[in-house]
Structure 1
Amino acid sequence: MEAQPAHSSHLHSQAKEIVFNVRQYFQKEKENGGILDDISKATSRTAAATKMSERTVERICKAARDNEENQSPKFMSPKKRKCATPITDFFDNFNEDVLRRTMLNFYERKEIPTLEKIHEEMRTNLSYPGSREILRKVLKKIGFRFGNVDGRRFLMERNDVTYARCKCLREMRRLRSSDRTIVYLDETWINQNYTVSKCWIDSNAEKAVRVRVPTGKGARLIILHARTKNGFVPGAALVFQAKNVGDYHDQMNADTFEKWFKTQLLPNIPPSSIIVIDNASYHSRKIDKPPTSASNKATIREWLEKKGVTVPEGLLKAELMHLVTRHIADADTNFVIDKMASEHGHRVVRLPPYHCQYNPVELIWAQVKGYVSKRNTFRIADLKPLVHESINNIAAENWTNAVRHAEKLQEDDAKRDVVIDHFFDSFIVTLTTSDEDSS
């Protein structure tokens, strides 16, 4: 008896990948002037070669084309396929900021924030589609933890995050009143196949014409630039292709950033500038990295003595590390780029953790990506010039509005911190180590 064509739902992921690759081979054969003169023949030849129906071949290839989450097609049987959660990319920088402000608004209203209340407010105000458990993890990520007030547990911001924000806001307010130029710098990324999510189509056509967008995200460009009130810093644009996939922060490293900082930024900014940056690890390489618990006692003692710390004899390793921690906390920052900037008469100011919204360049990147998405040709050779073109087309008014928005956020948060401080001063708060919400 002749074997029946296999159904796509019964195929292993590797078999689906083979079908897709065979179809791609026949399609390229046609495009290169081979024996195929009709694209549909690629499907029929694939079906004949793999002993499957043409419908099954089309279904497999359509699923691959529709997969926009991976660099290469990912094939899974329906029974094993995990539902794509809408939370995967929900908490970008913007939505993390919304979540933070939702939390702080509870304090400002003198209302105890619980996970249930926060979840409901995020669903109402931001159409948050996820669970409380995911919300709990994101809150922990952006610097919140649980505390006890009168036996009832609620979420509160970590003291180190609050302190960093207060310190930064006071400093930025003082510096804005001076005549020194403020330089904001930031990085972002853009994919080769980045485009708009929707476009107009002819609804009167018998069959809708589908805009062909390449499968996957394609290669990725990393973009690094800096801007002052007078515009982007001349000669400071760095646009390069990433070598691998993943978070764009993983593509950068301290060597690349420090080289750019020294050769493209410092020579091109006004004297005595204030350079505002975030806390990315490659911005914060220490000149003299302190020892860790993995270091031996002799190394720890040597580092302490080099810093002028008196080290009594007979101390245990735990006691030595306590001295290291105290010295780091009391010492000034000792970062490579801070020293570079100081040697050129500039000063570096670091934004508090999880507060990228204080940097107006973040809003400019959204405009750059919007410009690219409408003009992208999906060719990596065209993408880099298009990025430079989009940067050059940022209007001065857009930058002024972005700076005004960032400064307003800073002023609003400074006032909010005073209100919240009075709120917490009326309670005795006990921090807890558990992440469970019993309310």
Structure 2
Amino acid sequence: MPRVKNTVLNRQARQMVYSVYCFIKNNAELGIDKSMLEIYKQTAEATNTSVATVRRIVKEANSSEFLVVFRTPGKKRPREHPVTDVDSFDQGVIKRCIQNYHLTNKEMPTIEKLRQKLRADINFQGSERSLRRIIKMLGFKWRKTENNRKILIEQSHIRFQRITYLQKMQKFREEGRTIIYTDESYVDSSHSSSQAWSDGTTKGLKKPISKGQRIVIVHAGTETGFVPNALLTFKAGTKSGDYHDNMNYDNYEKWLRTQLIPNIPPKSVLVVDNASYHNKQYDPAPSSNARKSEMLGWLREKGIQHEERMLKPQLHHLIKINKDQYKKFNIDKIMAEHGHDVIRLPPYHPDLNPIEMAWAAIKGYVGSKNVTWNVSHVTGLVKEKVNLMGANEWTKLCQKVKENEKEYIKSDHIVDAMTEEFIIHVGDDDSETNSEDEDSDDVEEINEPVASTSTNAASSFMEGILPIPSD
């Protein structure tokens, strides 16, 4: 079979070529007299490759200090971004830094000034470009003022959802309801501290190259500690690296019914994020591809005015503009059947969920004690730390979240007052100006002033509902 030129060998093929090379070379060392060139030629002939390819593969293998691991050249792999992949705690710090900069520093911030402050507060090591990407990821947009200066504006719908969330939380607490914070996280079996002391030897201290098996963790907690018997851990089975792919609605519903609901007080309030399995709908509105009879039936059931002779695009338009007020979620229904309520965190606000800080404590504990890289051992360490975190630690975490809530409430009122002087050019409150793409690599306006604000629509709508917390 003729050799195909310009063919990229995947990692399995490269491993095979190297194995054949090692076999022929070992035979030569056992007494069969061959030069290295002959070994390369015979390997190339046996594997239907070229001598140059064999040389490259052998060189790649010899460059490995410990274990020989081949990779497919040119293959794109998901990679970590140590600067822009900031954890949930630092995301909250950055968001609140933008919110409160004008209070703490008595001036409107610039990207560079924000970067300097974050370097001091959380040892942020990123560039201005990285910070711009993070700020966009947290739900802020660039808009122009009347004098063409650009300011950074938190998107109106995000700010509105936060205000609504804080209003509901305030009401639930006044009613004396128990707040149940829930979340899902993960830990890898190879998770360990990045540094360790040694007597000079390295035996037994080498961390595996692979991340190992991923363990998904599901739990819930209140100010009095983790909910008893609510911890769920299981091995991940996905190739994507995203632990959310390992949790689905069926698993989550089973956890709710069998482990959470039986162990929480009456009339509790469940706090969840916006993961897809938290938001599965029952009786969803018809899509644009639904039958016309389904669309008409949905509109009649909801009492929405329409005409039977309307065409499908017109019917779907009516459904689209009305469906949000009739949206119902499965887990809300399940919790309501047992006398509980569900409240969803606003997007990009992990700093309002104390269990996020609990995950950090658990992962730190696992990292400090993991020396076996064994799934069962790591799972045991997770359970061990969960049992050690009692009411005292959880009270502190919840108190920190309450302080974050107060900061948001206070800054929302003050930002409204400060931004009255800015007249923002937008045709539609949710539309984006050309400055939306300001975080691109070609951006040069590095020191434009930054303001944490939205247009006056959302601000005026909720004005006065949340009282400004006293210091």
Counterpart CA distance in 1 for 2:12 and 2:336 is: 60
Match of 2:141 in 1: 145
SS at match of 1:161: helix
Alignment of 1:393 onto 2:394 = no
Counterpart CA distance in 2 for 1:20 and 1:361 is: 50
Q: Shift of residue 251 of structure 1?
A: 1.5
* 1:181 alignment partner, one of 171, 178, 183: 178
Counterpart CA distance in 2 for 1:253 and 1:133 is: 35
Match of 1:423 in 2: 418
- Distance of aligned partners of 1:231 and 1:87 in 2 relative to their CA distance in 1, 3 Å threshold: closer
Farther-moved stretch of structure 1 (51-60 vs 280-289):
51-60
Check conservation: 2:187, 2:363, Cα contact below 8 A: yes
Q: For residues 301-320 of structure 1, what are the structure 2 equivalents within 5 Å?
A: 301-320=296-315
- Distance of aligned partners of 1:119 and 1:272 in 2 relative to their CA distance in 1, 3 Å threshold: same
Check conservation: 1:107, 1:423, Cα contact below 8 A: no
Counterpart CA distance in 2 for 1:380 and 1:21 is: 32
* 1:384 alignment partner, one of 373, 379, 387: 379
Check conservation: 2:83, 2:125, Cα contact below 8 A: no
Counterpart CA distance in 2 for 1:132 and 1:281 is: 32
- Residue type of the partner of 2:419? F
Match of 2:236 in 1: 242
Q: Shift of residue 232 of structure 1?
A: 1.9
Match of 1:336 in 2: 330
Counterpart CA distance in 2 for 1:312 and 1:322 is: 13
Alignment of 1:261 onto 2:256 = yes
Cα deviation code 1:44-71 (max 9, x no counterpart)? xxxxx9889999755314486xxxxxxx
Q: Any gaps of 5 or more consecutive residues in structure 2? A: 1-7, 24-42, 44-53, 427-431, 439-444, 449-471
Match of 2:198 in 1: 201
SS at match of 2:220: strand
Counterpart CA distance in 1 for 2:357 and 2:279 is: 23
- Residue type of the partner of 1:342? A
Q: Shift of residue 300 of structure 1?
A: 3.0
- Distance of aligned partners of 1:15 and 1:265 in 2 relative to their CA distance in 1, 3 Å threshold: closer
Q: Shift of residue 210 of structure 1?
A: 6.7
* 1:161 alignment partner, one of 136, 158, 161: 158
SS at match of 1:60: coil
Counterpart CA distance in 1 for 2:206 and 2:16 is: 21
- Residue type of the partner of 2:299? L
Root-mean-square deviation (CA), in Å? 3.6
* 2:222 alignment partner, one of 222, 225, 228: 228
* 1:60 alignment partner, one of 59, 64, 69: 64
Match of 1:191 in 2: 188
Match of 1:103 in 2: 98
Alignment of 1:353 onto 2:350 = no
Check conservation: 2:188, 2:215, Cα contact below 8 A: yes
* 2:361 alignment partner, one of 367, 371, 378: 367
Check conservation: 1:114, 1:155, Cα contact below 8 A: no
- Number of aligned residue pairs: 394
Q: Shift of residue 22 of structure 1?
A: 5.5
Q: Shift of residue 196 of structure 1?
A: 0.6
SS at match of 1:211: coil
Counterpart CA distance in 2 for 1:428 and 1:153 is: 11
Check conservation: 2:99, 2:408, Cα contact below 8 A: no
Q: For residues 4-23 of structure 1, what are the structure 2 equivalents within 5 Å?
A: 14=11, 18=15
Counterpart CA distance in 2 for 1:21 and 1:341 is: 59
Q: Shift of residue 375 of structure 1?
A: 2.0
Q: Shift of residue 153 of structure 1?
A: 2.0
- Distance of aligned partners of 1:374 and 1:129 in 2 relative to their CA distance in 1, 3 Å threshold: closer
Check conservation: 1:19, 1:57, Cα contact below 8 A: no
- Residue type of the partner of 1:321? H
Check conservation: 2:61, 2:70, Cα contact below 8 A: no
Counterpart CA distance in 2 for 1:153 and 1:63 is: 52
Q: Any gaps of 5 or more consecutive residues in structure 1? A: 1-10, 27-48, 65-72
Output the TM-score relative to the length of structure 1.
Answer: 0.78
Check conservation: 1:86, 1:130, Cα contact below 8 A: no
SS at match of 2:303: coil
Q: Shift of residue 89 of structure 1?
A: 6.0
Check conservation: 1:110, 1:423, Cα contact below 8 A: no
- Distance of aligned partners of 1:135 and 1:181 in 2 relative to their CA distance in 1, 3 Å threshold: same
SS at match of 1:429: coil
Q: Shift of residue 299 of structure 1?
A: 3.6
Check conservation: 1:258, 1:337, Cα contact below 8 A: yes
Q: Shift of residue 378 of structure 1?
A: 0.8
Q: Percent identity?
A: 34
Q: For residues 404-423 of structure 1, what are the structure 2 equivalents within 5 Å?
A: 404-423=399-418
Q: Shift of residue 346 of structure 1?
A: 0.8
Q: Shift of residue 369 of structure 1?
A: 1.2
Q: Shift of residue 165 of structure 1?
A: 0.5
Cα deviation code 1:280-334 (max 9, x no counterpart)? 1111111122233444544433322232222224445444333223323434x51
SS at match of 2:437: coil
Check conservation: 1:87, 1:129, Cα contact below 8 A: no
Output the TM-score relative to the length of structure 2.
Answer: 0.73
Cα deviation code 1:159-208 (max 9, x no counterpart)? 11101111111111222233222211111100011101111123xx4x66
Q: Shift of residue 146 of structure 1?
A: 2.1
Higher relative contact order (CA 8 A, sep 6+): 2
- Distance of aligned partners of 1:131 and 1:302 in 2 relative to their CA distance in 1, 3 Å threshold: farther
